[in-house]
Amino acid sequence: GQQLNQSPQSMFIQEGEDVSMNCTSSSIFNTWLWYKQEPGEGPVLLIALYKAGELTSNGRLTAQFGITRKDSFLNISASIPSDVGIYFCAGHMTTDSWGKLQFGAGTQVVVTP
Amino acid sequence: DVKVTQSSRYLVKRTGEKVFLECVQDMDHENMFWYRQDPGLGLRLIYFSYDVKMKEKGDIPEGYSVSREKKERFSLILESASTNQTSMYLCASSRGGTGGNEAFFGQGTRLTVV
């Protein structure tokens, strides 16, 4: 299946810095999702986006549904050590009738004190 | 809160064994999915189900089968385990259709085949 293009692959940042990552696709999506996965655990849903241009926050996390419907962005402000993990984007294509999601390869975030 | 529970966190099985991975969700979701996750390969869909007794192949169904006899339970079966099936297995569920496509994941099962 198609994988989304997620970048960057990894980020090493200092505590207090902001983090930005994005996902792009050649297809149009009607839903964008952002997940966080910690070592040895399953992904946990952070933010869900449903409309082009939508901007949604969850605490220090902010995500946007791109206006072309082919991309999405996630920002983490003022990072803290517990932000460490792998962040995945996922999207649902408008042409899919089964509810299947496409996933990005993930962005590994490492926060140093 | 949606809860998806996988029966085991860790499993060690021998080559050739038949292996069952169980997943239960408590939110009356229509869709259920099995993925495997390997370093550098991301999440790959093995099988999914959109209703009881209904199943569809994902991207990598070879060597696997599934069973959904009840709405809340989705089982992944490795007919004859092989070492290349050593992986992290993730179950997920979603409401589907107009109810939304947000998938909720279980905690994962790390399977080692020796």
What tokens does B110 get?
Answer: 């790390």
CB A57 within 8 A of CB A72: no
Nearest residue of chain B to residue A86 (CA atoms): B42
CB A35 within 8 A of CB A100: no
3-state helix, strand, coil in chain A (%, to 5): 5, 55, 40
- What pLDDT is recorded for position B97? 74
Please state, in angstroms and rounded to a whole number, the distance separating the CA atoms of residues A23 and A89. Answer: 7
Nearest residue of chain B to residue A6 (CA atoms): B42
Q: Which residues lie below 8 Å from residue B39, measured CB to CB, with a gap of 6+?
A: none
What tokens does B107 get?
Answer: 């905690």
**Residue A91's pLDDT band (boundaries 50, 70, 90)?**
very high
Q: Is the pLDDT of residue A2 over 60?
A: no
Q: Return the residue matching tokens 């529970």.
A: B5
CB B23 within 8 A of CB B34: yes
A24-78 pLDDT, tens digit per residue, is 999 999 999 999 999 999 999 999 999 999 999 999 999 999 999 999 999 999 9
**Residue A97's pLDDT band (boundaries 50, 70, 90)?**
confident
- What pLDDT is recorded for position B2? 67
Whose CA is closest to B102, among A88, A57, A27, A45? A45
Average pLDDT over residues B26-46: 93
What residues pair up with A49 in beta bridges, in sequence order? A32
Average pLDDT across chain B, whole number: 94
Of A40, A99, A101, the CB nearest to B50: A99
CB A89 within 8 A of CB A8: no
Do B94 and A99 count as a contact with CB atoms less than 8 A apart? yes
Q: Which residues of B touch A104 (CB under 8 A)?
A: 42
Q: How far is CA B93 from the centre of its chain?
A: 10
d(CA B43, nearest CA chain A) in Å: 7
Q: What is the DSSP-derived secondary structure letter of residue A4?
A: B
